[in-house]
Amino acid sequence: MYVGLMLITTFCREPFTPDFETGTNDYLVVEGFINVGIKGVTTIKLSRVAPLLTSKRVSEKSASINIENEAGSKFPLYEVSNGIYLSDSLNLNQSNKYKLLITTHNGKQYKSALVQPKITPVIDSINWRLKDGSINFYVNAHDDANTTHYYKWNYQETWEINSDYKSRYAYVNGQLEIRNVIEKDNMFYCWRYNASEDLQISSTSQFDVDAISYRIVNLPYFSEQTSVKYSILVEQRTLTKEEFDYLQIIQKNSSVTGSLFDPLPGEIRGNIESLDDADEPVIGYIGAYTKQAKRIFVTAAQLNTNPTAKCEPVTVGMDDLNKFYGSEGVYTPINLVNELSTGAAKYCMDCRLRGGNPIEPDYWQ
């Protein structure tokens, strides 16, 4: 009898599916900070994550967000893409205190604590060092007033990639024709991008001097990033001790579960609360800060990582053009000399096939 009851109980269970549509059985996640810099743009990202069984995140769309100062003046943010909200370019008074007000699409209201802005010191330098077959990039900063102590960084990487050879000819309608110059360059010069995902924070509170050198990126010595030219833009901002402690808990959690918003092993509360339900957990911490940024460029010549061609060229006779360069072929022509063509594998001849974008960024040197 007991066995039968157990079987009935087991087979009658239905799997729990978090309800993202109605906003139940999920946590609101608030990412960003109030930018009190000159012409500062505040960016806030809203999403929801289930506390159990799944690490799926969904954007929190169609919300209303305002920055509010202690006098009650409000500065709205506008949704620019799914769950991403931006303010206008503002000059918020750094002597005022600020909080964030959020109303979600279903009318639920949230607010962050009223916080005093902190001023971020400039980035002194970004430098790199070779060690154990890898390239380590460091961000360096200090505060003569000895009041910063807690730092956070984000970065954006850009690197140029080139094809092994320039394709001077194209195979068109059974013949080799001189390739358009724009298309030739688009196949040869490309750029790729990456942005930081892991939390990168550190503290100088245990030292007498408020100065820091933090390894922000580690690259393999021979890698695509170092093959032509590499650039990193580092953004730095200070933190309050409270936010630093909060992010340390998040960081520790991510090292246990695998990513920042995997199912949480316990409640992690920041300084954001629900105005409708005091017991509702909200993930996020909103501070008010200025930020600093610095970019550097490093070339393969500086790193001594100049690459060699990955693909050996092949020689193709005029009778074999379609076999090598046609729709079934795997080669792209390079050149044509004395009725003999040279070619190489398509992957090595067109950097766009390696995820590259042929549009040069406007900041590129």
Q: Which of 14-28, 258-272, 277-291 has the highest mean pLDDT?
A: 277-291
Q: What pLDDT band is residue 252 in, cutting at 50, 70 and 90?
A: confident
Angle at 149 between CA 239 and CA 293, to 5 degrees: 60
Structure letter (DSSP) for residue 357: B
Residue 309 has pLDDT above 60, yes or no: yes
54 vs 251, more confident = 251
Hunting for tokens 């729990």 — which residue is that?
16
What integer pLDDT is reported at residue 273 of this predicted model? 95
Residue 11 has pLDDT above 90, yes or no: no
Give the residues across from 76 on adjacent strands: 66
Q: What pLDDT band is residue 353 in, cutting at 50, 70 and 90?
A: very high
What integer pLDDT is reported at residue 296 of this predicted model? 98
The stretch 56-74 carries a mean pLDDT of: 93
Angle at 38 between CA 36 and CA 41, to 5 degrees: 60
The stretch 71-91 carries a mean pLDDT of: 97
- In order, the DSSP letters of 188-239 are HEEEEEEE--S-EEEE-TTSSS-EEEEEEEEEESSSGGGSSEEEEEEEEEE-
What integer pLDDT is reported at residue 8 of this predicted model? 35
Q: Which of 26-35, 256-265, 290-299 has the highest mean pLDDT?
A: 290-299
What integer pLDDT is reported at residue 261 of this predicted model? 52
pTM of the model: 0.86
Residue 120 has pLDDT above 90, yes or no: yes
Residue 26 has pLDDT above 90, yes or no: no
What integer pLDDT is reported at residue 250 of this predicted model? 86
What integer pLDDT is reported at residue 116 of this predicted model? 97
279 vs 11, more confident = 279
Percent of the chain with pLDDT over 90: 77
pLDDT in tens, 212-233: 999 999 999 889 999 999 999 9
